[in-house]
């Protein structure tokens, strides 16, 4: 996959970066760190403008975030509760009240959650769904998403500029970063659910 992404950026430049980041926001398995680090490297190798790279990457990210926000906005909590109440939910040990729990959690941290999650791989995409589901003010969603995305994109693009030919050597560090973040997120969710169950007793 990585070679395909790099070839696409070589062929289409700024537009290619924008399209890949847009798709990455909808389908998280496409790694934004590869796209952005290589975009930074292309600043050196092909004379791309770093500011323009960041702008196009940010436009792509926000377009993807808006698409997921709209999907979340159109999806009713009741449908999710029905899904969790179904046989599939029981097999996966999912309970309908978890929908309300996650929904209330997002309402409590919505501004911080949107801003911070835009700097976390995978979560930067998924956070748009509960934002839409909770009917978060669209203007706040766009502002916070844009600020968080700008920080992430700027960091990775200029890191790619600094690393130059050695940009790929930094990818394992992002994988470790992603793993640590997800461990912390899962630990937080488990603790939150256990506290919720304890409070119900």
Mean pLDDT is lowest, of 139-143, 153-157, 189-193, for 189-193
Q: What would the pLDDT profile of 122-149 be if each residue is shown by its tens digit? A: 677 778 878 888 888 999 999 999 999 9
pTM to 2 decimal places = 0.73
- Is the CB of residue 110 less than 8 Å from the CB of residue 135? no
List, in sequence order, the alpha helices (H) in 118-170: 123-126, 128-133, 138-163
Report the b/e string of 65-92 with b at 16+ CB within 10 A. Answer: bbebbeebbeeeeeebbeebeeeebeee
Q: What would the pLDDT profile of 64-106 be if each residue is shown by its tens digit? A: 999 888 877 887 767 756 765 777 556 645 566 655 665 666 7
Provide the 10 A C-beta neighbour count for residue 156. Answer: 25
Does residue 22 register a pLDDT over 70?
yes
Q: Could you tell me the end-to-end alpha-carbon distance of the chain, in angstroms, rounded to an integer? A: 49
Q: What would the pLDDT profile of 39-63 be if each residue is shown by its tens digit? A: 888 877 778 899 998 999 999 999 9
What is the C-alpha separation between 174 and 162, in angstroms, rounded? 16
Q: And the tokens for 172? A: 């394992």
- Is the CB of residue 50 less than 8 Å from the CB of residue 43? yes
Report the b/e string of 157-194 with b at 16+ CB within 10 A. Answer: bbbbbebeeebeeeeeebeeebeebeeeeeeeeeeebe
Q: What's the mean pLDDT in 168-188? A: 66
Q: What is the dihedral of CA 69, 125, 195, 187, to 10 degrees?
A: 180
């Amino acid at each position: 996959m990585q070679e395909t992404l790099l070839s696409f950026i070589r062929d289409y430049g700024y537009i290619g970066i924008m399209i890949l980041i847009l798709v990455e926001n909808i389908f998280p398995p496409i790694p934004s760190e590869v796209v952005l680090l290589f975009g930074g490297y292309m600043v050196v190798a092909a004379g791309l403008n770093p500011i323009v790279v960041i702008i196009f990457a940010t436009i792509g990210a926000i377009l993807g975030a808006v698409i997921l926000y709209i999907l979340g906005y159109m999806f009713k909590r009741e449908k999710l509760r029905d899904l969790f109440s179904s046989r599939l939910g029981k097999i996966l040990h999912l309970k309908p009240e978890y929908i309300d729990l996650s929904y209330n959690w997002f309402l409590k941290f919505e501004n911080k959650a949107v801003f911070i999650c835009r700097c976390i791989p995978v979560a930067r995409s998924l956070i748009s769904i509960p934002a839409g589901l909770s009917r978060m003010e669209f203007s706040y969603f766009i502002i916070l998403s844009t600020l968080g995305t700008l920080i992430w994109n700027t960091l990775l693009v200029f890191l790619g500029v600094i690393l130059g030919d050695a940009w790929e050597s930094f990818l394992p560090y992002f994988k470790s970063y992603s793993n640590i973040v997800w461990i912390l997120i899962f630990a937080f969710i488990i603790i939150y659910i256990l506290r919720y169950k304890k409070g119900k007793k």
